[in-house]
Each structure stands twice: as C-alpha cells, then as structure tokens.
Amino acid sequence: MQTAASSSSLEKSYELPDGQVITIGNERFRCPETLFQPAFIGMESAGVHETTYNSIMKCDVDIRKDLYANTVLSGGTTMFPGIAERMQKEISALAPPTMKIKIIAPPERKYSVWIGGSILASLSTFQQMWISKQEYDESGPSIVHRKCF
C-alpha cells in the first residue's frame, strides 16, 4: 500500500478482449490490500493472515510448528504479485518469534484445488467414501461420518 500511495509510475495498461485499452493505477494494489485489511471495504472481519493465524492456533499444539512451516497458498486470488512475501511478513508478526514460518506459493496454485480434487477423486480408496443423493436423503448428515471416518 505504501508503494501505491507514493508512486504514480506504477500504472499499467491492459488490452481487453474487445481491443479496448485500459490503464490501471494504484487500484492494482488497493484491491488486493482488502485481503489483509477488510475494513477498507467496510467489512468487520479478520484479514487472510489473521484468519490463517487463528486457524493454526485452534489446532493441536503438537502440529502448529508443521502448519507454520508448510502454509500453501492456492486459488486464483493468491496470484497477486508479492502475496507470498506479504503473508510471510504478516504471519511472522503474529506467530511466536521462535517459530519458523514458510509460505509456499506453487506456480500452478491457481489450479491447485482442482488438481488436488482430481487426484483425490481418482483414488480407489476415496471412491468408497462417495455418497449418493439417495444415501444422503435416507440417512442425513450422519452418512458422512459412517462412510468417511
């Protein structure tokens, strides 16, 4: 955000599919900033870094170290330039000072969720966990526990 506020040379032009060219200035930085500061758009919620930290802190103390050291970014929203470094900085500020923080940002992360789901669905062991609509209608939510746990 500091970069966006102090520099107008960061404008970038994009050509749209219809041939129209648009120029975007500091909006390029203000929009993703709402992931970390939802109050910018009037939302009273925690930023993505705080949500990540809170989620880790709700886990068993024995696995927190591994979670801090293996946080993987996935999905299209994580494609903003610099997001991995920003997450690293923000989570490091919240976590215990002795904790090793490692944010992993795979280049294919835009599709990581789909890729993971595809791999999971192809496993024969997962197929026995499938629940049909009829099974769910007959048993309700308890069918999930019976078949999956």
Answer whether residue 14 is part of any domain.
yes
For 8, the domain range is: 1-33
Answer whether 121's CB lies under 8 Å from 114's CB: no
Answer whether residue 131 is part of any domain.
no
Length of the chain: 149
Answer whether residue 109 is part of any domain.
no
Q: Three-state DSSP class for 58?
A: coil
Closest CA to 61 of 99, 92, 91, 90: 99
Give the end-to-end CA distance of the chain in Å, rounded to a whole number.
45
Answer whether residue 20 is part of any domain.
yes
Residue 125 half-sphere exposure, CB side, CA atoms within 13 Å?
A: 4
Mean pLDDT of residues grouped by 10 in the chain (149 residues)? 55 92 85 91 95 98 97 94 96 96 96 94 89 94 89
pLDDT of residue 4: 47
pLDDT of residue 79: 93
The count of structural domains within the chain is: 1
Long-range CB contact pairs, 70-73, < 8 A, 24+:
70/102, 70/104, 71/101, 71/102, 71/103, 71/104, 72/104, 72/105, 72/106, 72/109, 72/112, 73/103, 73/104, 73/105, 73/106, 73/109
pLDDT of residue 105: 97
* CATH number (domain holding residue 14): 3.90.640.10
pTM (two decimals): 0.71
Answer whether 46's CB lies under 8 Å from 39's CB: no
